[in-house]
Structure 1
Amino acid sequence: METPAFFTAVFLWCLLISVTGYSIYMGFGPPSKELRDPFEEHED
């Protein structure tokens, strides 16, 4: 269990989970109130 491939896989898994969590937080959490919708701005 002390191979470099194991630690690389764990690192990539943690990176994927943290990026996914941050994206969900930015998309649906409190900061989402400041997001703009470019499709609504250019409706004709």
Structure 2
Amino acid sequence: MESPAFFYTIFLWCLLLSITGYSIYVGFGPPSRELRDPFEDHED
């Protein structure tokens, strides 16, 4: 458990999970009301 690779792996997993969680929060949470849909803006 003293191997630096173990700590790098844990750090990368935590970073990946936090970025994924933040992306889901921005995409589907309260901040998503401010997002605009470019396809809806240019309907014919």
Asked if these proteins are the same fold (TM beyond 0.5), I'd say: yes
Structure 1 residue identity aligned to 2:14: C
Query: Given the two structures, how large is their TM-score scaled by the length of structure 1?
Result: 0.95
Divergent runs of 4+, >2 A: none
Q: Is there any run of 5+ residues in structure 1 with no aligned partner, and where?
A: none
Partner of 1:31: 31
CA-based RMSD of the aligned residues comes to 0.5
What is the CA–CA distance in structure 1 between the aligned matches of 2:42 and 2:4, rounded to whole Å?
51
In the TM superposition, 1:7-26 aligns within 5 A as: 7-26=7-26
Distance in 1 separating the partners of 2:38 and 2:2: 49
What one-letter code is carried by the residue in structure 2 that aligns with 1:2? E
